[in-house]
Structure 1
Amino acid sequence: MIKWILQKIVGSKHQRELKRMRPMVARINRIEESLQSESREAVLSKVEGWQEHLRRYLPLETATKREIEKLDRDKLSEMATSVGERMRALREEFPNLPDRVTPDPESIENAKESFRGIEDRFPELRQKYLEEILPDAFAVVKNAARRLVGQTIDVCDQPLGWDMVHFDVQLFGGIALHRKMIAEMQTGEGKTLVATLPVFLNALTGLGVHVVTV
């Protein structure tokens, strides 16, 4: 009886979760409304900025120590520049990283070792950044859907007139999926359209994205 009374007063766990999401959904809609007056290029510029930020958290792809020792001066210089750029991108968050990578095997190896010492923090930092940009990123997806309205696209080699723009229920579903929750939706509520939201957001990382439906 007490549990039933409490649920009536404060709502079930799911109701409370939806209540917490409502300000986020309202914010997404406000941002999307402002994007309607933006050019396509301006919207793409936002996306490229997010990708550029997240690229710093990708694995550092370099040769092995033995391979580096066999490189000529030009290749060493090229590798030092590439590794140095990654260090610079990360130094704001990790000020102890080397401030300079010179074109010699020892300097490159030291930078690689420093990188390995921080990369276990990347999943946490990546997730934090995705949560920060979620309202803007979801607004971009909704805006892209709006810009497609009236156009014909090919789906499985069949022409389809696009007429879908995300409703609030789909924004709720997208937030839930991104936060690793199970989102139950009825037939016709637009599960496929929901998936575009977290897929786009997480694809910005440059890593693989998987959505499971049953």
Structure 2
Amino acid sequence: MAKVRLLVIVSSALLAVGLAGCTAGEDEPAPLPSTPVVQLGAPGEPNRTLSPSEAAGLGTIDYVEEDVLFVRDMLHHHSQAIQMTGYVEERTTDGDIRLLAERMQVSQTDEITQLETWLQKRGEPVRDPDGDHAHDAQSMPGLLTDDELAQLEAAEGDAFDELFLASMIRHHEGAVQMVSDLYASGGGQEPEIDAFARHVEADQNIEIVRMQEMLAER
């Protein structure tokens, strides 16, 4: 950032002139970023180096309706994951699955708070005010049906372990698909949503690999 140097002179008249010059300089536009800024591409797409004017306008990108729908859907998706992990304590003694479920509960509870705060800061209702955006296994990838949830809740021991891992892998894959769908719809450009979506994609993919390994061991 350019610095304005004020030469202090004994003469009060010259000092006044110097201050006036300093004030005028404050009206000059801020320089465009000189360091290259790389924008990460959507899943499957290459990264892109932004022009100085594009980089300067990054902070002004606003959210769109697709972002709002994504946030509300992800809230519902995360809520079901927490419901699923809530079955673990009473239905298995497997230490690895207990640790995995605990991590999921903590991370997804934190993300639910983050998503609700995002909506509230933008004056958007946490729940769809129109009530016509249905949440079911057909409309949202990876979501378990009521019957599948009941089957998971009724299982115990090794049967529960295998069913939990298989169901949660599918659930996580659905969340990753939701991120891909967000970018495909033209959403995900607002910086905070973009950062959250990429975090979900990376974190869920890591857990998918881990759960696939755990399931293979059984």
Same fold at TM > 0.5: no
